[in-house]
Structure 1
Amino acid sequence: MRVSKGLSRYRLAKLTGLRESTLQNIEKSESPNPTFRVTCAIADALEMSLDELRKYMNT
């Protein structure tokens, strides 16, 4: 999703306050259950609702 929004992992990390490695682990499904705080930060940065993000992550 971040790529389709034109965001690098670095930029998304800056927008969310998360580490790039955290985002990489989520993207590679090495951390398939991020915390609610992390999920909210990602959704906010991508300008998506939590429901939209959930649907995207489950596809």
Structure 2
Amino acid sequence: MWNEIQKALDKKNMSIYKLAKITGIRDSTLHNYKRGSEPSFKNMCKIADALDVSLDYFRKEESQWKN
């Protein structure tokens, strides 16, 4: 899932630090997500809103695993 978050961050030219400031999620928590921790639904909603994408955007990568 982090790959999709990173793509959206790159597209917005946004750092993890800025994402943390916008969402209110600690940057250490975001770094944990980058290392593989699963974010809560509440935090994924905050991230999606901050990156101006739908939650479905993050499901792209997951749906490839199921096929």
TM-score after normalising by structure 1:
0.81
**Identity across aligned pairs (percent)?**
48
Distance between the aligned counterparts of 2:21 and 2:49, measured in 1?
A: 12
Determine the structure 1 residue equivalent to 2:50. Answer: 45
> Which residue is equivalent to 2:3?
none
- The structure with higher relative contact order (CA 8 Å, sep 6+) is 2
What is the CA-CA distance between 1:12 and the residue it aligns to? 0.3
SS in 1 for 2:31: helix
Cα distance in 2, alignment partners of residues 44 and 54 from structure 1: 15
Unaligned runs of 5+ in 1: none
Please point out which of 36, 42, 46 is paired with 2:41: 36
- Rg larger in structure: 2
CA RMSD of aligned residues (A): 1.5
Which structure has the highest helix share of the two? 2
